[in-house]
Structure 1
Amino acid sequence: MSLSILTEKNITMRAKAASREEAIREAGDVLVQNGYVEPAYVEKMLERERVTTTYMGNLLAIPHGTEDAKANIKASGISVLLFEQPVDWDGHDVRLVIGIAGKGNEHLDVLSKIAILCSKEENVRKLLQIQSADEVLRFFSEGNAT
């Protein structure tokens, strides 16, 4: 069975997290619950964050596992969390968290498209105004991010 990389089940509207660690765990848990990764992958996401920040600018963070986490990935997938209140990401405000698990190099194309789409803060702010997971899917597909 092949999983789509992004579905409505992977999107959390009005997410809440008190910390960067909590936000990463939530993004990872969505990937676990939807069958993309094993639970150990979430710890590898936290490990990656300790090595180097996944904050990308423009209110965006893209947490993902370390290189040795590939064994914990069942299928490529992304989780999208939209926060009403900013999460402190080592001194930076983050309101959009995109968790990524990539099998092989499948995720690189998706990551590239997301990076291009979110390279403008106005696009991220537009995305944060969206009210439903279906609209989020449309936003990414119209921007060719899925």
Structure 2
Amino acid sequence: MEHLTTEMVHLNQTFKNKEEAIRYCGEQLVAAGCVSEDYIEAMLEREALLSVYMGNFIAIPHGTDEAKKYVKKSGVCIVQVPDGVNFGTEEEEKIVTVLFGIAGVGEDHLSLIQQIALYCSDIDNVIHLADALNQTEIIDCLVAA
């Protein structure tokens, strides 16, 4: 995964719920100049339409197709949540320990989702990301993938 910088990797975060987690990912993409503020609401809308939980303790918050107009440049933020955040319901918990907030120009969007899903299909890779002690360790894992 190219263009990953330490500013886009956030360790040891805690969230009360998935909305707070998605909003945080969106704020990082806004701060990096990848998207406009409107993209954050589109990320929440996307979760309401179809869960961004991907299994193996990961979620990939991203905007709806209609929100592509808010994307200025492709980008990814990675957020480590050691205590986990529930992306399911009270009855059926879907705990997430690593979030990948993404925004993609054109076909980059689908490409990013595919790269992340493929890498995280191996639970050992997810454990490594969840246990990483610094940003460089996370970047090294993903760039080498």
TM-score bracket, shorter-length normalisation: over 0.9
Equivalent in 7, 25, 28 of residue 26 of structure 2: 28
TM-score (norm 2): 0.92
5 Å matches for 1:124-143? 124-143=126-145
Q: Which runs of 5+ in 2 are unaligned?
A: none
Distance 2:56 2:72 in 1: 30
SS at match of 2:11: strand
Distance 2:141 2:26 in 1: 22
Q: Which runs of 5+ in 1 are unaligned?
A: none
Which segment drifts farther, 119-128 or 30-39?
119-128
- Aligned AA (1:104): G
- Aligned AA (2:98): L
Shift of 1:107: 3.1
- The size of the alignment, in residue pairs, is 140
Distance 2:64 2:113 in 1: 15
Report the counterpart of residue 80 of structure 2 in structure 1. 82
Equivalent in 83, 91, 98 of residue 96 of structure 1: 98
Which segment drifts farther, 18-27 or 119-128?
119-128
Matched residues, percent identical? 36
Shift of 1:95: 0.5
Which segment drifts farther, 128-137 or 4-13?
4-13
CA RMSD of aligned residues (A): 1.1
The runs of at least 4 aligned residues of structure 1 exceeding 4 Å deviation read: none
TM-score (norm 1): 0.92
